[in-house]
Amino acid sequence: MQTDPQIENNKTLVRRFFAAIENADFRVFDAIVAPDYDDHWSGQTRGRETLKRYFTGLHAAFADLKMPITAIIAEGNLVAVLSRVRGTQKGDFAGIKAKGNPIDAMAFQLYRVANGQLAEHLEVADFLTLMTQLRG
């Protein structure tokens, strides 16, 4: 079976995004994230700069943040990712003071790619496990 090169490019784009997050190299977002990126987070403004601020804050709370990809599949302009969110809380997060607690929670993401950039994101994450681990 032959693989569609565009689908492989889309998966590579998402992998670059995850690597940029783990390495806190948010300058990469300028090349791979659309300026009007829609994250679909309630109360969050659209845009690449909003995304940079979010992940900067996440790294302030979890300097050792890792997001290993368990599975990645793509069809057309959509890329689905099953991943984990791991780290050690070293800074305040979601109103919870840092206690040095480790986190390890699952997340499912769906990305839409447009014009070679990530344009849209939907997520279902195990926030219950995450918050339970943070509260220790």
- The pLDDT of residue 15 is 98
- Give the separation between CA 22 and CA 26, rounded to whole angstroms: 10
Residue 13, token pair as written in the block: 């784009």
Backbone torsion region of residue 70, taken as left when φ is above 0, otherwise alpha when ψ lies between -120 and 50, otherwise beta: alpha
Asked if 78 contacts 111 with a C-beta cutoff of 8 angstroms, the reply is yes
First to last CA, the chain: 48
- The pLDDT of residue 46 is 95
Domain locations along the chain: 5-135
- The pLDDT of residue 44 is 85
Asked if 64 contacts 46 with a C-beta cutoff of 8 angstroms, the reply is no
SS3 content of the chain, % helix, strand, coil (to 5): 35, 35, 30
Q: What are the pLDDT tens digits along the chain (136 aa)?
A: 557 899 999 999 999 999 999 999 999 999 999 999 999 988 889 999 999 999 999 999 999 999 999 999 999 999 999 999 999 999 999 999 999 999 999 999 999 999 999 999 999 999 999 999 999 8
Asked if 108 contacts 82 with a C-beta cutoff of 8 angstroms, the reply is yes
- The pLDDT of residue 1 is 53
Contacts of 111 (CB under 8 A, 6+ apart): 10, 14, 17, 78, 79, 80, 81, 118, 120, 121
Asked if 79 contacts 110 with a C-beta cutoff of 8 angstroms, the reply is yes
For the segment(s) 5-135, the CATH number from 3.60.70.12, 3.30.450.20, 3.40.50.1970, 3.10.450.50 is 3.10.450.50
Residue 53, token pair as written in the block: 């601020």
- The pLDDT of residue 69 is 98
